[in-house]
Structure 1
Amino acid sequence: MLKFLCFAVLVAAANAIACTPEFCQMVRCAAVDATSCKGVVKANGGMCGCCDACITELAEGDKCMSILFLGVPQTVQCADGLFCDPKTSTCKSSISKRDLTPCATKLAAVNARLAAQPMLLGLEKPHCEDDGTYKGMQFAGSQAYCVTSNGTMIDGYMVNRWETGDDMNCQCAREQYAYMKTGLIGKMFYCDKNGNYASIGCSGSVCYCQDKMGKQVGTSTVGIWEKDSMNC
């Protein structure tokens, strides 16, 4: 019951703020004294962008929960070089070796934008590895697709979002892409449409069962001309 009431209050607060074109005509702005403002004076930073506002800057580690509230005019913001981390509700620096990697850099930018515009729809967060590089599978609307570790899209590997399950890793697509970049020829890759290794793989004229990472399963093998008879 308490959770429902809190949710209802948030919804009511968001709906109560109607920033119509005529709204600012009814607002009388008070002057903001830059000398007494313990922060920065933000032009049109008040309710609905009608008036200037004194914005307090938060340091790294400071709580920034209010930034995430829907429909609440902001009187605080994380200082330059920081963003409000929605996981910890604290201002966090994005300047580190990990966070300078492509995926982590984009994720920080998306989080900062969502913190500034919580009701923004359609902005997709990238999926990153622990080291800040891109995971093999990424989303765009209703589609899931494969990318390299630096975020380059790999053509030919895209499926519906609801078809990914929990095992789409794009490992085969990635290794095939990397091999083709070397200019070498001769190695064959057997990938599913989602970029994973197919259940049957071949090396030269010998075929075998394999897992989604391309590792051989069991010891049974057949000639490549018998590949279609395998039950993996």
Structure 2
Amino acid sequence: MLKLICLAVLACGAYAIVCPPNICDTMDCAAMDSCNGLVKKNGGFCGCCDSCITQLVEGDACSTFLLLGVPSTESCGDGLYCDQHTHRCHPIVKRDLGPCAQRLAEVNAQLDASQHMLLGLEKPHCDTNGNYLGMQFSGSQAYCVTEDGTMINGYMVNRWETGDSMTCQCARDQYKYMQSGLIGKMFNCAPNGNYASVGCTGSVCYCIDQSGNQVGVSTIPIGQQDALNC
């Protein structure tokens, strides 16, 4: 309780600090020649003098709580921030833009420069990580791509036929499997790159969902797969 009272008193005192006119005329500022840190211009009390800011390194203890009117004398160095939970300096993690996000930024810049839609210029469709979504558009066509935007041959439909159901998941999984050099796994993809309703392994077939996983336990010989009611 005593600590809380002391903090409250300090906080009230900080809020009461007012810099009167011409206060800087009475200040005797110390030289910053011996500052072993960052010299902050007018960073001292009431902005009258320069201040010396100690640059903390990763892992150093720091504080996110500053009393109003009291100049800070230390801060986390370049590329670091003071974590409010651990009260330690941690690196600032910067997420690189994915290939789709980079392309989208380029397209938006072109559109801003021209101030009108450019013929044949399509905005890419990106996921939350900045990678390409499976379905992309080109003119009147919709086609499948990998996460980095590589076109997957054999999967293209009319743009108006896609709706919201074209994910190209089967086309992507098939492409990735073929790139691995493995053989033996069969993929039954629809023309739009989605998984078809029937999948087969070896000599048996079964119903599958949109992720390619088997639905239920029923199977049927591969020669009778048309008899499946999926």
> Shared fold by TM > 0.5?
yes
Give the drift of 1:182: 1.4
1:128 alignment partner in structure 2? 126
Aligned length in residues = 136
For residues 132-168 of structure 1, the C-alpha deviation after alignment (integer angstroms, 9 at most, x for no partner) is 0000000001000000000000000000001111110
Gapped runs of 5+ residues in structure 2? 1-93
1:102 alignment partner in structure 2? 99
3-state SS of paired residue (1:111): helix
1:204 alignment partner in structure 2? 202
Give the drift of 1:206: 1.8
3-state SS of paired residue (1:218): coil
RMSD over aligned Cα atoms: 1.2
For residues 8-44 of structure 1, the C-alpha deviation after alignment (integer angstroms, 9 at most, x for no partner) is xxxxxxxxxxxxxxxxxxxxxxxxxxxxxxxxxxxxx
Gapped runs of 5+ residues in structure 1? 1-95
Quick one: which amino acid aligns to residue 225 of structure 2? K
State the alpha-carbon separation in 1 of the partners of residues 96 and 226 from structure 2: 45
Identity within the alignment, %: 65
- Asked if 2 retains the 8 angstrom alpha-carbon contact of 1:124 and 1:139, the reply is yes
- Asked if 1 retains the 8 angstrom alpha-carbon contact of 2:111 and 2:118, the reply is no
- Asked if 2 retains the 8 angstrom alpha-carbon contact of 1:135 and 1:149, the reply is yes
Quick one: which amino acid aligns to residue 104 of structure 1? A
3-state SS of paired residue (1:217): coil
1:119 alignment partner in structure 2? 116
- Asked if 2 retains the 8 angstrom alpha-carbon contact of 1:102 and 1:133, the reply is yes
1:195 alignment partner in structure 2? 193
Quick one: which amino acid aligns to residue 172 of structure 2? R
State the alpha-carbon separation in 2 of the partners of residues 98 and 198 from structure 1: 35
State the alpha-carbon separation in 2 of the partners of residues 222 and 201 from structure 1: 11
Give the drift of 1:203: 1.4
State the alpha-carbon separation in 1 of the partners of residues 142 and 197 from structure 2: 20
- Asked if 1 retains the 8 angstrom alpha-carbon contact of 2:142 and 2:157, the reply is yes
State the alpha-carbon separation in 1 of the partners of residues 111 and 223 from structure 2: 54
Structure possessing the higher radius of gyration over alpha carbons: 2
1:141 alignment partner in structure 2? 139
| Dislocated runs of 4+, deviation >6 Å | none
